[in-house]
Structure 1
Amino acid sequence: MIKYQHILVVVDPVAEVQAALHRAVSVAALEEDAIVTLFLPIYDFSYEMTSMLSSDERDEMREGVLQGREEWLKTLLRPYADSKIRFELKVVWHSRPFEAIIQQVQTGHHDLVVKSTHKHALIQSFIFTPTDWHLLRKCPCPVLLVKEQDWPMGGNVLAAVNCCSDDKAQEALNNRIIHESAEVARLLSATLHLVNAYPITPVNMALELPDFDPHAYNAAVKKHHERALYEYAVRFDLESSSLHLDEGLAEEVIPRCADDINASLVILGSVGRTGLSAALLGNTAEYVIDKLHCDVLVLRPDV
């Protein structure tokens, strides 16, 4: 049974509505003895460049800024004054927000990060990797990216899996995704659905192989994925009506299925990237997030 009891909320310093805090409180309310930590990394380069001040004076100015932002965080908690949830506040001076978040996850032993997100401009996503993307690749615990839609009790939770990979790590990730999705669905009295995308028949195969039958190939691939998806359904005691299999790219199939069933939450895995590919490319999870209208919970493989 999963437990999200040490929840880290990344506060948006410019947002009028703190959707991540609202969602974190909703998640914490489903558990007993949950702790919600409001986390705010801040940095102002001008304080580092003030040559007229001594090092001690700069430290005092930074401390004053941190205390001021902590007082502001307290005002965010006023609507939850009657809540039984335990709240903690943490403001840090750090120039790279995603590094500050990951450091806090490690030192605070958090089991869930909750952060608001928004659609990234294509050119921005391609050149400048947003904090969200860094978290998906590096955060050691699950990341819940919050949009605007609420979580109704009795709604639908959609788990996205990659059924036919021969990779043992992918199979383990599939099992983890379905297991955690089932537990979240239970907490929300929701129906759990599984979605899997299978690949389109490669055009070059039909051109290069004269005897190649694309219809027969497509039917065989679909059957293979159907069988694998059904095996997961049997293993996790899911109804066949909650299985969704569609041809195409995962980043197209998953959002379409989420819209079709009016999912309040999509749960998927992220493999992470390093090096040049991390700088230039997002993975499937990142492309899916921009196309979803609901929240998304992202899990990484157990290390």
Structure 2
Amino acid sequence: MSCVKNILVVLDPDKQQQKALNRALHLARISKASITLMLSIYDFSYEMTTMLAAEERNTMRDSLINDRKVWIDDLLEDYNTRELDISIKVLWHNRPFEAIIETAITGEHDVIVKATHSHDGLASIIFTPTDWHLLRKAPCAVLLVKEHEWPEHGKILAAIHTTGEKDHHNSLNYRITEAAQRFAGCLHSSVHLVNAYPGAPVTIAAEIPEFDTGNYREVIAENHQQALAEHAQHFGITEACQHVREGLPEQVIPELANELDAELVVLGTIGRTGISAALLGNTAEHVIEQINCDLLAVKPAGFESPVKV
């Protein structure tokens, strides 16, 4: 089974150890996928050099690009790349996330692989990191890589949203679970499903003393368990691998991932942008900060990136 066919790897310009490259080469070998290694570079001082003619500035810029291509060639010497289809792309762009997305669109890549780093509080809201932009705007799945290894016979946790109703989440739930099973097939791992449901609103219990919060929670839990079981049945996922827990997804998912020692968490991202994203963020963004394993973010069917080529 093939996990992916066409991988775009975002290299870290400041690291000799390339976590994303390590992961992508592993995927490429087991999936027989092609790989594009990309690096986005930019130096504002080159654009401000008014003493030089435009042609001379372009020559200097091309020289810097060629230097980075040589650096990538040297980097690859430390890896076993035999029989792998690898291409290199170095772009001059002042917005790295746009360069990555444009490359993913033109190259028709089905996954972007990038190492992720921690982000600090307010700074990550005002200056949105590249991986946050990718989670919201990338046209394909995004695999954010951390330190956790990918052992065979490990566990992959797929986080889905189920209710007692048939709603717009169903299509994304299927895409999430299908992606999890594709990766599980390649990695000889098992798929676990998790569904978080909200507890009884505190305000209702306070305003209506006779409101039975215990019964409310039981009914909600039962509805979610039934919906999850129906979803799992389509994919042949056993009851032992179905987890329904009370709480917010950004709390429940990391807790269960840690309990299972999951190697990969798969979830959907709706690509929220604008002020709502700045204030609320997305579940994927909250989760990636708290888990110690990789995260695969899957887009809804028909998603179109707001970044145009």
TM-score (norm 1): 0.96
Structure-2 residue corresponding to 1:21: 21
Q: How do residues 66-105 of structure 1 correspond to structure 2 at under 5 angstroms?
A: 66-105=65-104
CA shift digits 1:170-197 (9 cap, x unpaired)? 1100011111111211111111100111
CA shift digits 1:45-87 (9 cap, x unpaired)? 0000011101110000000000000000111111234521111
The separation in 1 between residues aligned to 2:276 and 2:111, in whole angstroms, is: 26
Secondary structure of the structure 2 residue equivalent to 1:119: coil
CA RMSD of aligned residues (A): 1.3
Write the letter of the residue equivalent to 2:186: L
* Contact persistence 1:127–1:280 (CA under 8 A): no
The separation in 1 between residues aligned to 2:166 and 2:41, in whole angstroms, is: 40
Q: How do residues 15-164 of structure 1 correspond to structure 2 at under 5 angstroms?
A: 15-32=15-32, 34-164=33-163
Task: Report the alpha carbon displacement of residue 231 of structure 1 after superposing the two structures with TM.
Answer: 0.7
Identity %: 48
Task: Report the alpha carbon displacement of residue 274 of structure 1 after superposing the two structures with TM.
Answer: 2.2
Structure-2 residue corresponding to 1:187: 186
Structure-1 residue corresponding to 2:12: 12
The separation in 2 between residues aligned to 1:96 and 1:137, in whole angstroms, is: 15
Structure-1 residue corresponding to 2:265: 266
Structure-2 residue corresponding to 1:286: 285
Write the letter of the residue equivalent to 2:115: S
* Contact persistence 1:42–1:94 (CA under 8 A): yes
* Contact persistence 1:137–1:273 (CA under 8 A): yes
The separation in 2 between residues aligned to 1:124 and 1:145, in whole angstroms, is: 20
The separation in 1 between residues aligned to 2:89 and 2:63, in whole angstroms, is: 14
Task: Report the alpha carbon displacement of residue 169 of structure 1 after superposing the two structures with TM.
Answer: 2.9
Q: How do residues 118-267 of structure 1 correspond to structure 2 at under 5 angstroms?
A: 118-164=117-163, 166=165, 168-267=167-266
Secondary structure of the structure 2 residue equivalent to 1:90: strand
Structure-1 residue corresponding to 2:294: 295
CA shift digits 1:241-261 (9 cap, x unpaired)? 111111111001000000101
* Contact persistence 2:16–2:75 (CA under 8 A): no
Structure-1 residue corresponding to 2:305: none
The separation in 1 between residues aligned to 2:141 and 2:165, in whole angstroms, is: 24
The separation in 2 between residues aligned to 1:131 and 1:245, in whole angstroms, is: 32
Secondary structure of the structure 1 residue equivalent to 2:91: strand
Which ranges of structure 1 fall in alignment gaps of 5 or more residues? none
Task: Report the alpha carbon displacement of residue 269 of structure 1 after superposing the two structures with TM.
Answer: 0.5
The separation in 2 between residues aligned to 1:283 and 1:9, in whole angstroms, is: 23
Which ranges of structure 2 fall in alignment gaps of 5 or more residues? 303-309
Task: Report the alpha carbon displacement of residue 30 of structure 1 after superposing the two structures with TM.
Answer: 1.1
Secondary structure of the structure 1 residue equivalent to 2:94: coil
The separation in 2 between residues aligned to 1:225 and 1:13, in whole angstroms, is: 45
Change (3 A) 1:48 1:166: farther
Secondary structure of the structure 2 residue equivalent to 1:252: helix
Change (3 A) 1:76 1:53: same
Q: How many residues align?
A: 302
The separation in 1 between residues aligned to 2:169 and 2:123, in whole angstroms, is: 29
Secondary structure of the structure 1 residue equivalent to 2:74: helix
